């Protein structure tokens, strides 16, 4: 029974699926198909653009093929797609997972969605959907604990720290109907044996759907021009007044940003989060401290005590192995070139990893560069990191045939890996 808990978890192949969602233009009603990661919707019929927002996570339903007279019950499933990092004495282990798990604990319904969500087009939950929506009673946190337990079984103990960098969390409702058995309304097949007499679906808390997709007009709050970026961008740009905007609740919030000017005529700028944090349990306030903590082969210079330490985290998705390597390189480099508080006049890679997820990486990043490694065992659990402020910084990379290269900080990113990361 446990085998169906996780519908696919692929550590080596790191395979993942971007779900497809059927959508209707809120302006003209024209049908469209979105990728799960799309946020900026540009209707190809009426050309009205809107930005999809959610307060916590998106909610979808699977389409049903049930006979017309059936009363549908929608059972919620948590879906988590992202990276897990585990800090061990041997180093950091990572996994990429794409999993689902029931959000209402019941042995009568399947434990996971299986592969169905990958082969069917989903729809957003709307208040017009007929059916009874069961209330999630198992929290996402609880479900993540189940996954952690399962994934850490084979790992050597102790585990000093673990983090979930999950950029895609959603609630997917799967339709069922109930006769003498429970029927999957997607396939019209029974998924339970004959139900006991005392089974009643009314005992599960639920009711009509109380969620709908919300969207924002994409006008720059500052100057009224259209904001721009790629469909999956989490941050939008105004090229007219040179500003950068982050959707927060029902509006766009202005974001502190800058770029480090690059040289060359084939540049692409990648977004990073530069994070100021209060760190306790280890002395890491200045660049001089960093040289000591990471045991860098450098002679500490007097003025390095005055250079404040900052974490650097990726604001874009890439495979877990590269993810940690790039964050470590950037943090150890502590870029302090002069920054220009405008958008660069070159191609910009969209922000696809939010600051909330970047903050999750800080302790893992620290564990990755502390040396000697026995310090991880001795100290990591006692270290606390309290983020204080952040800024978005665009770093120039040379666009070569197969790679993007940052010559100053010596960071190389495989272009293929970056392109494939769209699915992550």
Positions that interact with Zn ion (CB under 5 A): 25, 27-28, 30, 43, 45-46, 220, 222-223, 225, 238, 240-241
Given the complex with Zn ion, which of 31 and 372 has the nearer CB atom? Answer: 31
What's the min distance (Å) between Cβ of 169 and Zn ion?
28
64 in Cβ contact with 186 (< 8 Å): yes
CB of 390 to Zn ion, least distance (A): 22
- Give pairs for 12-20: CB < 8 Å, separation 24+: 14/96, 14/319, 14/320, 15/98, 16/81, 16/96, 16/98, 16/423, 16/424, 17/98, 17/118, 17/423, 18/422, 18/423, 19/60, 19/117, 19/118, 19/122, 20/121, 20/122
Can you spell out the DSSP letters for 366-413?
HHHH-SSTHHHHHHGGG-EEEEEEEEEEEEEEEE-SSEEEETTTTEEE
Closer to Zn ion by Cβ: residue 236 or 418: 236
Q: How many CB atoms lie within 10 A of CB 385?
A: 18
Could you tell me if 192 and 409 are in contact, meaning their C-beta atoms sit under 8 angstroms apart? Answer: no
What is the closest distance, in whole angstroms, from the C-beta atom of residue 254 to Zn ion in the complex?
10
Question: Minimum distance from CB of 359 to Zn ion (Å)?
Answer: 28
Cβ neighbors of 366 (< 8 A, separation 6 or more) are: 279, 282, 284, 311, 380, 383, 385
C-beta of 220 vs 367, nearer to Zn ion: 220
User: Are the C-beta atoms of 80 and 114 separated by less than 8 Å?
Assistant: no
Min separation Cβ 258 and Zn ion, Å: 17
End-to-end CA distance of the chain: 28
When the beta carbons of 72 and 220 are compared against Zn ion, the nearer one is: 220
126 vs 188, beta carbon nearer Zn ion: 126
Tokens of 29: 């009603």
Distances (CA, A) of 141 to 100, 194, 255, 394: 13, 32, 29, 33
User: Could you tell me the smallest distance in angstroms from the CB atom of residue 39 to Zn ion?
Assistant: 17
106: Cβ contacts below 8 Å, ≥ 6 apart: 75, 204
- The CB density around residue 27, as the number of other CB atoms within 10 Å, is 15
Shortest distance, CB of residue 63 to Zn ion, whole angstroms? Answer: 22
48/296 with CB nearer Zn ion: 48
Q: Identify which of residues 228 and 379 has a Cβ nearer to Zn ion in the complex.
A: 228
- Closest contact distance (angstroms) between CB of 197 and Zn ion is 51
């Amino acid at each position: 029974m446990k085998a169906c808990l996780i519908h696919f978890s692929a550590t080596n192949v790191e395979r993942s699926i971007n779900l497809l969602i059927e959508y209707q233009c809120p302006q003209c009603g024209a049908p469209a198909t979105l990728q799960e990661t799309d946020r900026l919707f540009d209707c190809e019929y009426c050309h009205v653009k809107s930005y999809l927002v959610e307060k916590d996570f998106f909610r979808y339903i699977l389409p049903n093929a049930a006979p017309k007279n059936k009363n549908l019950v929608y059972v919620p499933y948590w879906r988590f797609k992202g990276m897990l990092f585990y800090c061990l004495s041997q180093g950091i282990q990572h996994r990429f997972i794409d999993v689902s798990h029931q959000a209402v604990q019941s042995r009568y319904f399947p434990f996971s969605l299986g592969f169905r969500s990958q082969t069917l087009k989903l729809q957003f939950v709307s208040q017009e959907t007929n059916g009874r929506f069961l209330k999630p009673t198992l929290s996402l946190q609880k479900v993540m604990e189940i996954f952690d337990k399962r994934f850490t079984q084979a790992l050597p103990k102790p585990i000093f720290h673990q983090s979930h960098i999950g950029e895609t969390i959603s609630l997917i409702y799967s339709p069922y109907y109930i006769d003498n058995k429970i029927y999957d309304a997607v396939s019209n097949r029974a998924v339970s044996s004959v139900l006991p007499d005392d089974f009643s679906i009314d005992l599960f808390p639920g009711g009509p759907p109380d969620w709908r997709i919300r969207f924002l007009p994409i006008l720059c709050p500052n100057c009224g021009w259209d904001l721009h970026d790629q469909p999956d961008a989490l941050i939008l740009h105004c090229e007219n007044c040179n500003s950068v905007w982050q959707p927060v609740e029902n509006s766009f919030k202005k974001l502190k940003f800058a770029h480090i000017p690059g040289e060359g005529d084939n540049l692409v700028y990648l977004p990073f989060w530069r994070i100021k944090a209060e760190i306790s349990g280890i002395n890491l306030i200045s660049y001089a401290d960093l040289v000591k903590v990471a045991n860098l082969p450098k002679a500490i210079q007097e003025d390095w005590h005055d250079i404040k330490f900052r974490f650097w985290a990726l604001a874009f998705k890439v495979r877990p192995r590269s993810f940690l390597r790039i964050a470590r390189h950037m943090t150890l480099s502590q870029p302090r070139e002069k920054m220009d508080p405008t958008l660069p006049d070159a191609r910009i890679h969209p922000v696809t990893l939010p600051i909330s997820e970047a903050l999750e990486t800080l302790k893992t990043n620290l564990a990755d560069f502390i040396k000697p490694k026995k310090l991880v065992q001795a100290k990591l659990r006692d270290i606390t990191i309290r983020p204080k402020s952040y800024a978005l910084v665009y770093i120039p990379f040379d666009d070569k045939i197969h790679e993007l290269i940052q010559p100053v900080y010596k960071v190389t990113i495989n272009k293929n890996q970056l392109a494939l990361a769209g699915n992550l």
